[in-house]
Amino acid sequence: MDMWREADAGRVQFRTMKLEDIPDIMVIEHESFTLPWSEEAFRNELTLNHFARYMILDVDGQPVGYAGMWTIVDEAHITNIAVRTAYRGRHLGELLLRRIMEWAMELGMERMTLEVRATNRVAQSLYAKLGFVPAGVRKGYYSDNNEDAIIMWCELPELENGSGEEEGSEQNC
């Protein structure tokens, strides 16, 4: 049973990331990535980068996942998405990706892109499930092991009542 879509759905909440969340984010970041972003990188994203948008997924009020994107003209670029190890495989990553895609649509974005490690089959499968298709390769993109990145794109449907608000590196996703 998918508990997060049914009985316990009320335990899950989404909200915008704040500076006070950074210590919790660092825990998830270090669990999730071999090239984790620094606290300073997140601080800069939240305070200096006007294109950056970050959201937190809370379970029972505790940060369990997060996702970020840069919104530039009509394209959203996912910078990172991660779920705490103990909470994976329960469709929380999927909920997070669906929510950030909705946010992009609310902001008037028409398409979404990301890079994913060639060996990261779990994330590729998640992206494919939500409509992302591979569109190219960045050779040796990841500096820790020279691994290639697969570039994926997704065309976002137009929101019927969307506001149409328009707005707007590190390696991670």
Annotated catalytic residues are: 115, 127
Nearest to 126, CA basis, from 150, 144, 145, 148: 150
Question: How many binding residues for ligand COA (CB under 6 A)?
Answer: 20
Binding ligand COA (rule: CB under 6 A), the pick from 125, 143, 146, 161 is 125
The nearer residue to ligand COA, 102 or 162, going by C-beta atoms, is 102
Q: Which two tokens stand for residue 46?
A: 């939240």
Draw the binding track, 57-86, toward ligand COA (x: CB under 6 A; -: no contact). ------------------------xxx---
Task: Choose the binding region for ligand COA from 47-55, 87-95, 102-110, 162-170 (rule: CB under 6 A).
Answer: 87-95
Q: Which two tokens stand for residue 124?
A: 């590729």
- Least gap, CB of 161 to ligand COA (angstroms): 27
Q: Which two tokens stand for residue 45?
A: 């994203």
Binding ligand COA (rule: CB under 6 A), the pick from 44, 49, 113, 120 is 120
Asked whether 17 and 67 are in contact (CB, 8 A), the reply is no
* For helices 22-32 and 39-47, angle between their N-to-C axes, nearest 10 degrees: 130
Is residue 88 a contact point for ligand COA (CB under 6 A)? Answer: yes
| Beta strands across the sheet bearing 75-83 | 12-16, 52-59, 62-72, 75-83, 111-117, 147-155, 133-142
Q: How far apart are the first and last CA of the chain?
A: 29
Binding ligand COA (rule: CB under 6 A), the pick from 89, 140, 157, 164 is 89
- Least gap, CB of 166 to ligand COA (angstroms): 26
Is residue 32 a contact point for ligand COA (CB under 6 A)? Answer: yes
- Please give the distance of CA 143 from its chain centroid, rounded to a whole number: 20
The nearer residue to ligand COA, 3 or 47, going by C-beta atoms, is 3
Residue 12 is inside which H or E element, if any?
strand 12-16
Residues found near ligand COA in the complex (CB under 6 A)? 32, 81-83, 88-94, 116, 120-123, 125-126, 129, 173
